[in-house]
Structure 1
Amino acid sequence: MNFFERQAQARRASTRLVVLFALAVLAIVIAVNLMVLLVVGPQPGPLAATTLVTLAVIGLGSLFRIASLGSGGEQVAQQLGGVPVPEDTTDPRLRRLRNVVEEMAIASGVPVPRIYVLEHESAINAFAAGYSTSDAVVAVTRGTLERLNRDELQGVVAHEFSHILNGDMRLNIRLVGVLFGILMIGIIGRKILWHGRGVRGSGALAVFGLALVAIVVGSLGVFFGRMIKAGVSRSREVLADASAVQFTRQTQGIAGALKKIGGLETGSRLARREDAEEVAHMLFGDGMGLSGLFATHPPLLQRIQALEPGFRPEQLSRLQAQWLASPPDGLQEDVAMGLVPPGEALPPAAGALSLTPQMVAAQVARPHDDDYDRAHALVTSVSQTLHDVATHRDAAMPLLLGLLLDAEAGVRGKQRTEIVARLGAAVATEAEHLRQTHLLDLHPMLRLPLAAMAFPVLRRRPRPEIGAFLDTVHAMVHADDHVSLFEYCLGRLLEVQLREALDPARHARFGRRKPGNVVQEFATLLSVVAHCGNPGDRAAAQRAYLAGMQRVLPRDHVPYAPPARGVLALDDVWEPLDALDPLAKQVMVEAITAAVSHDGRVSVAESELLRTICGVLHCPLPPTLEQVPR
């Protein structure tokens, strides 16, 4: 199952969630009415009033919780006691975690998510939360940092990235909000019981009776809530395990993490049980200790045996005895295992790739084979100085602006004026300094990954500063009459990802449009791709355009026309194309790839445009694309 099929499956799961929620609400309303019926008899008035009040409590509870999660993944991590990992941390365990997440993000073609640690949790567990890749958060427990070696940490993080990339994360965070409404009546009952402790006389009986009814009905809500979480979560955990293996190309990492969960006394159960109840379906391991119908995860031994078929229960017993005497230390295991081998070298800056549409579509949000090693190669190819600049709060903006500074002195002067007017002379001077000292010789393939590294600190800036920064980026891109391909790519990615990070809930959606409804938008997109890949050669551009149209809309005959506005014509197509059905997006990616590779070769600039289009339309690509073997 590829990315687009998983997205379509996630959309169907969202529909199923609505149905299950409606059935749970119906059951709770019936239960409440039955209790009222026993007290007052078959009187329509009280029964109707009870129904309306029950629906209002559940509905308002769900709306309140969903609204409280409007800021996305960070809200969930903070409510669980998460502490953000600084970009410039020197703690070896935190540095290792940040390196793994950064490499995983770059290998996946998504912005580096915000990283949190649940410092007070000694169990081994993790989760990903957010509405989209732009506001995603990856959180791990302190036990995960201390007990897992690098391979095992990679396996856990890869598992969470599967949820980020395949739409599970968005469904998970909505599930938190929806289920809160179902639990509201029980919460109200406990509050009544707590605050009514001082009531005496006949009032005490009424308070106790009301609280008892609410708690009994609330128990029904807990029952349905756990059933829904279990039904939505279990199968996706199996798929996420498999995706993690495909991503890291080895089973030992994630299997080792699962063995340590089973072999250590702390396991994966969270100490903050109430918080674990709400997010149980989001966790890497079972955070509640539930089993049977309520289990949000498959049995631990079953998960291990799916990865290592020969593993036996007695082996887990031996590990339990071994780790009881001497608990594992992840960093010491890293030392014993040796250093991670270097990845592949970057291709020549002026080189070209050989791709096929099916291969590229298969890589969307499904990094595999050597993608992780390639991402590691990209990260290690960035100098430590430049990496520190990208992850420093005050240097990230000048760095990205430095990437946009033009080679021509006159245009660069205009760009400096725009920076000074909005962000000040100090930022402009720093951007010029970084360009001169670090960016002139930067390999083209490192530019967008470097921007991805800077994203976490950038989105933490105050909203007015982000707005001023985006205005500056726009002004720099349009400082002259020509917008280069790279200028447009970087500017557009920053605009989309930062805007979504500011208001993530607003941008979370699964599209439903079909290709036949966006014919003109497809024609514009493919004409831009064809023109940018074949400047000055109309015949070659037309062949590229037709190669793409034949794949996506073979029955439509829209003639090729060079875009009058160049790459800026893409501004009109983003919203309609992002509303496409997930499976239609797969065809779209294949069509774009067919256009850029019609001559059998794809330049680095074309691959950047391809990755930008896919990133803006929420189909993230790895930074280096799988090539046709020669």
Structure 2
Amino acid sequence: MDFFTAQDNARRKTGRLVVLLIAAVVALIAVTTLVITIVVYFMSDQQGEVMVSSLLAGLTPELMGAVALGVVGLVVIGGLYKRFQLRRGGGRVVAETLGGREIATGTENPGERRILNVVEEMAIASGMPVPPVYLLDEAGINAFAAGFDTRDAVIGITRGAIDNLSRDELQGVVAHEFSHILHGDMRLNMRLISVLHGVLLIGLLGYILLRSTAFRGRSVRRSNNQNGKGVVVVLALGIALAVIGYAGTFFGNWIKAAVSRQREYLADASAVQYTRNPDGIGQALIKIGSHSQGARLEASQASEYSHLFFGQGMKVGFNRLLATHPPLDKRIKRVMPSWNGEFDAALNAPTAGEVASESVAGFSGSVSAYASTTMTGASAQAAIASIGQPGPRHLANAKATLDALPARIRQAAQDPYAVRALIYALLLSQNTQVRERQLASLQQAALPDVYREVMSHAGDVLMLRDQLRLPLMELALPALKNLSVDQAMHFRQCIVELINADNNVSLFEWTLYHWLIHHMGLDSKGSGPAVRKLNNVQQECQVLLNVLARAGQDDPDKVSAALNAAEKELPFALSVKNEAPDMKALGPAVSRLRRLRPQQKPAVLQAMARCIEHSGQIKPAEAELFRVIADMLECPMPPLLIEE
């Protein structure tokens, strides 16, 4: 399944989720009404056997209306509260609720360094910013991805997974979680948490009231000032609340199972496609089956987030139909058809040598082939086809890219002061006079410690090849996201000072600035109402393609040829304008284009590709802008590679 089809299916599943929720709420209203009717009957002064006619007489329209209003109100309020809570912190809220702590990017722990390197590789290969990684101090082998999109996504991993899985197995697990991020499953799962919180809240309230009712029942029996019927009423109320609570939990798990199970098979298949190594994810699943703790988590709120996990994090019990994950053996058979069906408990954990060999310096390899060979239209077409489904070549390129970054710069990207200095240094002009004005302005605006780091790293950053600028930005993002609100706003102000030093906004300056504010959540402007068709965004496409057509060239004939090539991919005509591109209008244009339906976005990407490839080669700055805008359109694009 391609990226855009997967995104569209995830969007459609949101509608299915609403239908399931309505069905669950109707069922809860029926159960609650019946239970309340029975309780009211027993609390009345009527004597004798339970009469069906008497119970039915109690089912008045007033009672049913009051119950319906109460249940719907509780579901809506609970869902809105949870949505607000999650929206404020994204995936970090989920990770911290489960007891996770963020792994410091500069950690010296070999196992933690290993998982960070695996996540960094997968992120750069996928064309998305590196997400923060949270460690859960749990013995079970498990992982999860949480967040609404790539801007607030996090990866969670258990201590059991780090200690027991080899590097290939960790890569398979991480690839599985990246599939959930890229294909829209993660966003659907977050919506599922919000929607089900109100339903599960009924179960939680029932449990709390049941405990208090049981305590009250013991008090009644001790006081001896109530008759036997009073105790029966108390117990009946307790049982009633237990039934309502169980019903809420049942319907919540039913919806989770209905939405989640098939997505796990697809994510497993994607992990194999990304790594071309079925043994990686397959052996990880086998180790879950052979491990004493399996994938189970002990966190008190793990059940609420059970559908997010890599493995079945909670005990299933007698009813497999409510399991959020398919059976382990079926998942293994799908990725490893030759598996003998046995869980080998003797499988080894990663050796000390394997873990210790991981370092911040990266891996062997080189990007010289990509630097010395020209990218063409075939590179752009292959990159579009690889959106949401990077392959082994992208992983190899990511390793080589990390290795090509000087170790000193990689280490600086993990430090809260030095990381800001690296971004400032990326904006320094190659023109000596302009650079001197930038540094003078920065010395006045930046913190003294940060300015010293700029002067320390400026030489290395200015020597970086253009192909390494975007990977460095992606690598720096986790540290930048840990800045406080005041630090982030000051950071943004310093960037604006650097850009305005020469009264001109270059293509790269626009790219860096808008990419950063997009992913750091510093852009307070919304993207406006939903746009469904390309015909509704003709002006926005004109602005975007006009900028791309002039990227790195001024010849009117070449600009016209680029726009004519792009026009063939769109259902409307483009006009050729002689004036310089309007960089201020580009940001709002991209923001509105982000509201296109998934199946409408490929035409925009194809038009962009035609625009930058018309000359027969794609320059690094053009490729950079192409990928950044694709990312901002929520279509993270792998690096453009030289076609073999």
CA–CA separation in structure 1 for the residues paired with 2:71 and 2:161: 41
Aligned residue number for residue 462 of structure 1? 484
Task: Select the residue among 69, 84, 95 that pairs with 1:67.
Answer: 84
CA deviation after TM superposition for structure 1 residue 361, in Å: 1.7
Please list the CA deviations of residues 292-346 of structure 1 after superposition, one character each: whole Å capped at 9, or x if unmatched.
3112222211111111211122xx24x13x35xxxx2223483799999734423
Aligned residue number for residue 604 of structure 1? 620
CA deviation after TM superposition for structure 1 residue 211, in Å: 3.9
Aligned residue number for residue 331 of structure 1? 351
Please list the CA deviations of residues 2-49 of structure 1 after superposition, one character each: whole Å capped at 9, or x if unmatched.
111111111011111111111111110121122334436133333322
Task: Select the residue among 91, 102, 108 that pairs with 2:120.
Answer: 102
* Equivalent pair of 2:289/2:328 in contact (CA under 8 Å): yes
**2:329 corresponds to 1:301:** yes
Q: Map 1:224-239; keep pairs closer than 5 Å.
A: 224-239=251-266
* Equivalent pair of 1:241/1:254 in contact (CA under 8 Å): yes
Q: Partner amino acid for 1:67?
A: F
CA–CA separation in structure 1 for the residues paired with 2:366 and 2:434: 36
- Structure number with bigger Rg: 2
TM-score, length-normalised on structure 2? 0.90
Aligned residues: 611
**2:379 corresponds to 1:360:** no
Aligned residue number for residue 50 of structure 2? none
Task: Select the residue among 277, 291, 296 that pairs with 1:250.
Answer: 277
Question: Judging changes above 3 Å, is the alpha-carbon distance between structure 1 residues 89 and 336 closer, same or farther for their aligned structure 2 residues?
Answer: closer
Aligned residue number for residue 126 of structure 1? 143
* Equivalent pair of 1:419/1:425 in contact (CA under 8 Å): no
Aligned residue number for residue 625 of structure 1? 640
CA deviation after TM superposition for structure 1 residue 512, in Å: 4.9
Task: Select the residue among 403, 419, 434 that pairs with 1:380.
Answer: 403
* Equivalent pair of 1:532/1:567 in contact (CA under 8 Å): no
Q: Map 1:141-156; keep pairs closer than 5 Å.
A: 141-156=158-173
Question: Judging changes above 3 Å, is the alpha-carbon distance between structure 1 residues 415 and 206 closer, same or farther for their aligned structure 2 residues?
Answer: farther
Please list the CA deviations of residues 473-510 of structure 1 after superposition, one character each: whole Å capped at 9, or x if unmatched.
1232222232222111111111111116x98xx97999
CA–CA separation in structure 1 for the residues paired with 2:30 and 2:157: 41
Aligned residue number for residue 591 of structure 1? 607
Aligned residue number for residue 287 of structure 2? 260
CA–CA separation in structure 1 for the residues paired with 2:264 and 2:531: 26
Question: Judging changes above 3 Å, is the alpha-carbon distance between structure 1 residues 207 and 543 closer, same or farther for their aligned structure 2 residues?
Answer: farther
Aligned residue number for residue 450 of structure 2? 427
Question: Judging changes above 3 Å, is the alpha-carbon distance between structure 1 residues 215 and 606 closer, same or farther for their aligned structure 2 residues?
Answer: same
Percent identity reads 37
* Equivalent pair of 2:417/2:449 in contact (CA under 8 Å): no
Task: Select the residue among 493, 502, 506 that pairs with 1:480.
Answer: 502
CA deviation after TM superposition for structure 1 residue 511, in Å: 5.6
TM-score, length-normalised on structure 1? 0.92
Range that drifts further, 106-115 or 300-309:
300-309
Question: Judging changes above 3 Å, is the alpha-carbon distance between structure 1 residues 511 and 361 closer, same or farther for their aligned structure 2 residues?
Answer: farther
**2:75 corresponds to 1:58:** yes
* Equivalent pair of 2:210/2:241 in contact (CA under 8 Å): no
CA–CA separation in structure 1 for the residues paired with 2:246 and 2:576: 63
Aligned residue number for residue 536 of structure 1? 554
Q: Partner amino acid for 2:384?
A: A
* Equivalent pair of 1:112/1:453 in contact (CA under 8 Å): yes
CA deviation after TM superposition for structure 1 residue 432, in Å: 2.9
* Equivalent pair of 2:443/2:451 in contact (CA under 8 Å): yes
Please give the secondary structure, in 1, of the residue aligned with 2:551: helix
Please give the secondary structure, in 2, of the residue aligned with 1:139: strand
CA–CA separation in structure 2 for the residues paired with 1:305 and 1:433: 54
CA–CA separation in structure 2 for the residues paired with 1:258 and 1:166: 21
Please list the CA deviations of residues 508-534 of structure 1 after superposition, one character each: whole Å capped at 9, or x if unmatched.
99965211110111111111111114x
* Equivalent pair of 1:346/1:378 in contact (CA under 8 Å): no
* Equivalent pair of 2:370/2:642 in contact (CA under 8 Å): no
CA deviation after TM superposition for structure 1 residue 209, in Å: 4.0
Q: Partner amino acid for 1:441?
A: M
Task: Select the residue among 278, 282, 301 that pairs with 2:308.
Answer: 282
Question: Judging changes above 3 Å, is the alpha-carbon distance between structure 1 residues 369 and 349 closer, same or farther for their aligned structure 2 residues?
Answer: closer
CA deviation after TM superposition for structure 1 residue 352, in Å: 2.6
CA–CA separation in structure 2 for the residues paired with 1:509 and 1:344: 43
Please give the secondary structure, in 2, of the residue aligned with 1:128: strand
Task: Select the residue among 564, 567, 572 that pairs with 1:549.
Answer: 567
Please list the CA deviations of residues 536-561 of structure 1 after superposition, one character each: whole Å capped at 9, or x if unmatched.
211111111111121122xx223221
CA–CA separation in structure 2 for the residues paired with 1:418 and 1:351: 38
CA deviation after TM superposition for structure 1 residue 234, in Å: 1.1
Please give the secondary structure, in 2, of the residue aligned with 1:98: helix
Please give the secondary structure, in 2, of the residue aligned with 1:573: helix
CA–CA separation in structure 2 for the residues paired with 1:511 and 1:236: 26
* Equivalent pair of 1:233/1:281 in contact (CA under 8 Å): yes
Aligned residue number for residue 157 of structure 1? 174
* Equivalent pair of 2:376/2:616 in contact (CA under 8 Å): yes
CA deviation after TM superposition for structure 1 residue 204, in Å: 6.6
Please give the secondary structure, in 1, of the residue aligned with 2:95: helix
Please give the secondary structure, in 1, of the residue aligned with 2:277: coil
Range that drifts further, 478-487 or 373-382:
478-487
CA–CA separation in structure 2 for the residues paired with 1:305 and 1:237: 13
Aligned residue number for residue 29 of structure 1? 29
Please give the secondary structure, in 2, of the residue aligned with 1:140: strand
Q: Partner amino acid for 1:475?
A: E
Please list the CA deviations of residues 164-185 of structure 1 after superposition, one character each: whole Å capped at 9, or x if unmatched.
1111111111211211111112
CA deviation after TM superposition for structure 1 residue 617, in Å: 1.4
CA–CA separation in structure 2 for the residues paired with 1:627 and 1:388: 29
* Equivalent pair of 1:459/1:498 in contact (CA under 8 Å): yes
Aligned residue number for residue 564 of structure 1? 580
Q: Partner amino acid for 1:625?
A: L
Question: Judging changes above 3 Å, is the alpha-carbon distance between structure 1 residues 489 and 472 closer, same or farther for their aligned structure 2 residues?
Answer: same
Structure 2: runs of 5 or more not aligned = 42-57, 221-225
Please give the secondary structure, in 2, of the residue aligned with 1:532: coil
Aligned residue number for residue 521 of structure 1? 540
* Equivalent pair of 1:123/1:266 in contact (CA under 8 Å): yes
Range that drifts further, 40-49 or 571-580:
40-49
* Equivalent pair of 1:526/1:549 in contact (CA under 8 Å): no
Q: Partner amino acid for 1:175?
A: L
CA–CA separation in structure 2 for the residues paired with 1:112 and 1:352: 27
CA–CA separation in structure 2 for the residues paired with 1:215 and 1:509: 45
* Equivalent pair of 1:355/1:627 in contact (CA under 8 Å): no
CA deviation after TM superposition for structure 1 residue 101, in Å: 0.7
Question: Judging changes above 3 Å, is the alpha-carbon distance between structure 1 residues 507 and 258 closer, same or farther for their aligned structure 2 residues?
Answer: farther
Please list the CA deviations of residues 441-493 of structure 1 after superposition, one character each: whole Å capped at 9, or x if unmatched.
11211111111111111111111111121122123222223222211111111
CA–CA separation in structure 2 for the residues paired with 1:593 and 1:236: 31
* Equivalent pair of 1:130/1:137 in contact (CA under 8 Å): yes
Task: Give the root-mean-square deviation of aligned CA atoms.
Answer: 2.5
CA–CA separation in structure 1 for the residues paired with 2:446 and 2:212: 53
CA–CA separation in structure 2 for the residues paired with 1:374 and 1:385: 20
Aligned residue number for residue 156 of structure 2? 139
Question: Judging changes above 3 Å, is the alpha-carbon distance between structure 1 residues 46 and 335 closer, same or farther for their aligned structure 2 residues?
Answer: closer
Task: Select the residue among 385, 390, 400 that pairs with 2:413.
Answer: 390
Task: Select the residue among 364, 367, 374 that pairs with 1:345.
Answer: 367
CA deviation after TM superposition for structure 1 residue 417, in Å: 4.5
Please give the secondary structure, in 2, of the residue aligned with 1:353: coil
CA deviation after TM superposition for structure 1 residue 580, in Å: 0.5
